[in-house]
Structure 1
Amino acid sequence: MGFCDDIWAEVAPLRQAILGHPFLDELARGTLPRPSFQHYIVQDSLYLAEYARVLAIAAARAPTAAGRLEFSDGAKVAVIVEEGLHQAFFAQFGVNAEMAAAAEPTPACLGYTSYLASLAATRSYEELIAAILPCFWVYWEVGCAIKPLAASPNPYAPWIDTYAAPEFGAATDRVRALVDAAADAATPATRAAMAQAFRMATRFEWMFWDSAYARESWPIGFA
């Protein structure tokens, strides 16, 4: 087994917690409360704007042409998703431009994007791409798990279809291959750091959905 298979098996309990989260269960049933999805889609828009920047940095730091192409394309897709799917959901679920512009990242969103940005700025390329991978792989697993169970009709069907699409699975496989190649050439210490980065990013994936379900905000604001 390669690095990705090993770390994927290691985080299996966390993956099961994600798949069993009520946010995703209710999304599949089509019963997720509208305000929870509004919260999620606004925060995901904020997240993807920062994730695109991190992918662009990964592309610039990639030692191979394959890595430069994959991560630069990924940055482009993140922007397209934010501008396309999110804008459609904003219209469908009553998020106007003023609401989106006024939104600030929640602790979960800011924690996740800040963690990725810190890796991009201060840690190795290998750690960075290991932390990038869960956003692809976890969403692909979620999309594939939900799609066969999803109610029809379902107001969240376009979201499910996006992440269960074969094209998204192919992109996930390409990023996995880049991470495995980096791990194969890495020292044991770097591989250990990659594993920790993957674990941490996967934790943030769970936190992101949990914060949306709870409609999390900052515990104290400004007067």
Structure 2
Amino acid sequence: MAFSNRLLQAGEPIWEAQYDHPFVTELAAGTLEEEAFLHWVRQDYRYLLDYARVFSIAGGKARDEETMTHLFGVAHTILDYEMDLHREFAAEYGISRGELEVVEKAPTCVAYTNYLVRTAYEGSIAEIAAAIYPCGQGYLDIAEHMADLAEGEHRYTPFIEKYTSEEFREAVDWMRAFVDRCGERYPGEHEAMERAFLTSAKLEARFWEMAYALEEWDL
């Protein structure tokens, strides 16, 4: 069994919990409260900036030119293209660039981004691969689940289409292959990879709850 599949098998209960989360099911139905969705948009913008940092740090740790080139390329794409796309996406829902840039991270967003950046700095390339995998595979799987649940088009259809697009599938395919290569090259790191994967997966699940509950700092 490919190591990526072993990780997904270990994370199956987390995936199932995400499939059933009201943010996911209500978004699929088009009934999600707009403020919950906008909270996700704002927080995801802040998340993406640190996500780019993680790929950049990982590129510096890669041992082969092809992997290094791809990781640095992903970081560049996030900053040069994905951020603009996210700003355009946000603008469709009435959120300006200025508003995005002054958003304070909610506690869950802080926890998730801090975990990823710390893993990038302190962990091995194998741990980094496992830590970023839930973001790609999770969004693809959950968006496909949303597409199955959805009945016709509605205001959140662009979200579903974005994360089921061929471009996003190709990005996830590379991440899966990256995890599998690391699993093959570093068998002594399987336990560390699984811990990293499950921690990120749990934080992904908490991200939906953060948006749904409009989580903010109490103080």
Length-normalised TM-score, structure 1: 0.92
Deviation at 1:11, TM superposition (A): 0.8
Name the counterpart of 2:202. 203
Contact 2:42–2:100 (CA under 8 A) maintained in structure 1: yes
Q: CA RMSD in A?
A: 1.4
Deviation at 1:178, TM superposition (A): 1.3
Stretch moving more, 201-210 or 86-95: 86-95
Deviation at 1:81, TM superposition (A): 2.2
Name the counterpart of 2:55. 55
The letter for the 2-side match of 1:209 is W
The letter for the 1-side match of 2:177 is A
Name the counterpart of 1:29. 29
For residues 188-207 of structure 1, give each alpha carbon's deviation from its aligned partner in whole angstroms, at most 9, with x where no partner exists: 3x211111000000001001
Name the counterpart of 2:139. 139
Name the counterpart of 1:194. 193
Contact 1:127–1:197 (CA under 8 A) maintained in structure 2: yes
Secondary structure of the residue aligned to 2:163 is helix
For residues 65-98 of structure 1, give each alpha carbon's deviation from its aligned partner in whole angstroms, at most 9, with x where no partner exists: 33223322322332322211x2223222222344
Deviation at 1:137, TM superposition (A): 0.6
Length-normalised TM-score, structure 2: 0.94
Aligned length: 218
Determine the C-alpha separation between the residues in 1 that align with 2:97 and 2:162. 23
Determine the C-alpha separation between the residues in 2 that align with 1:177 and 1:90. 31
In structure 1, list runs of 5 or more residues that go unmatched.
none
Determine the C-alpha separation between the residues in 2 that align with 1:51 and 1:176. 17
Contact 1:70–1:175 (CA under 8 A) maintained in structure 2: no
The letter for the 2-side match of 1:163 is Y
Name the counterpart of 1:101. 101
Name the counterpart of 2:218. 219
Deviation at 1:142, TM superposition (A): 1.1
In structure 2, list runs of 5 or more residues that go unmatched.
none
Contact 1:70–1:174 (CA under 8 A) maintained in structure 2: no
Contact 2:42–2:103 (CA under 8 A) maintained in structure 1: yes
Determine the C-alpha separation between the residues in 1 that align with 2:217 and 2:65. 42
Aligned runs of 1:54-133 on 2, under 5 Å?
54-79=54-79, 80-84=81-85, 86-133=86-133
Contact 2:87–2:97 (CA under 8 A) maintained in structure 1: no
Contact 2:131–2:200 (CA under 8 A) maintained in structure 1: yes
Deviation at 1:212, TM superposition (A): 0.2
The yes-or-no answer on 1:150 pairing with 2:154 is no
Percent sequence identity over aligned pairs: 33
